[in-house]
């Protein structure tokens, strides 16, 4: 599928299966979310720009590289927070913004209740973090907000995605790059991914 990358690395798939298991404790679930996010971000950032950097090792000179892309990580509250810390370990210089969205359970539409973003996102490689891409409502709302700040290159990293959510996002923002560990079967009547892994936020935060 164009603009969609399914990361089928064995370690990602092994840990995703553990995340799906309803017997996995909240403590373990939280750890696994961070671990899978770390593995996925390697693929999602493969095209970031680098420049040359020469260093002196203990035994001589070496040619190397340095990251030249400016990265803006944007977790969607609250579940996206479970992915943030582990990714910051790999990209400690990344800037971080936050978007708070909640779903109206009657209409399944996303309602924005918080946003903390740079005045301008132009020039940043924006990576939106959210464990689940379900109806696509939250993703579209987040994409609308960062693009209104001038973002041109936007990636989404989701542990799971539903076909309906992917279709909705790419219909509204066809240039978005989506990285996911799996595309599941469908959404149920409540807008939850089937088979999915339940409510990621509830399982991360034991609520």
Residue 55 resides in a domain: no
pLDDT reported for residue 15: 96
Residue 201 resides in a domain: yes
Write out the residue range of the structural domain in which residue 87 sits: 4-49+66-205
Q: What is the pLDDT of residues 4-49, one digit of tens each?
A: 999 999 999 999 999 999 999 999 999 999 999 999 999 999 999 9
* Catalytic positions, written as ranges: 103, 107, 199, 202
User: Rounded CA gap, 18 and 38, in Å?
Assistant: 16
Both tokens of 61, joined, read: 């000179």
CATH number at residue 147: 3.40.50.2020
Residue 23's Cβ-side half-sphere holds a number of Cα atoms within 13 Å equal to 1
Neighbouring CB atoms inside 10 A of 29's CB total: 21
> Across residues 54-64, what is the average pLDDT?
96
Residue 174 resides in a domain: yes
Residue 61 resides in a domain: no
pLDDT reported for residue 207: 61
* Total tally of structural domains belonging to the chain: 1
Task: Answer whether 88's CB lies under 8 Å from 75's CB.
Answer: no
Task: Tell me the β-bridge partners of 57.
Answer: 60
Q: What is the pLDDT of residues 68-112, one digit of tens each?
A: 999 999 999 889 999 999 999 999 999 999 999 877 766 667 788
Q: Is the entire prediction scored with pTM above 0.85? A: yes
């Amino acid at each position: 599928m164009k603009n969609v990358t399914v990361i089928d690395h064995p370690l990602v798939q092994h840990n995703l299966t553990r995340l799906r298991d309803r017997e996995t404790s909240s403590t373990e679930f939280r750890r696994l979310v961070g671990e899978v996010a770390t593995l996925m971000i390697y693929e999602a950032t493969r095209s970031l720009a680098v420049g040359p950097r020469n260093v002196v090792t203990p035994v001589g000179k070496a040619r190397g590289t340095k990251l030249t892309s400016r990265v803006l990580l944007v977790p969607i509250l609250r579940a996206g927070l479970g992915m943030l810390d582990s990714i910051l370990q790999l990209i400690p210089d990344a800037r971080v913004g936050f978007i708070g969205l909640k779903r109206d359970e009657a209409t399944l539409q996303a309602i924005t209740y918080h946003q903390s973003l740079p005045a301008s996102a132009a020039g940043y490689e924006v990576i939106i973090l959210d464990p689940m891409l379900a109806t696509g409502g939250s993703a579209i709302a987040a994409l609308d907000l960062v693009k209104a700040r001038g973002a041109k290159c936007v990636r989404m990293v989701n542990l799971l995605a539903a076909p309906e959510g992917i279709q909705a996002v790419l219909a509204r923002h066809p240039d978005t790059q989506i990285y996911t560990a799996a595309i599941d079967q469908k959404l149920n009547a409540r807008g939850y991914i089937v088979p999915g892994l339940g409510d990621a936020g509830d399982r991360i935060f034991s609520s």
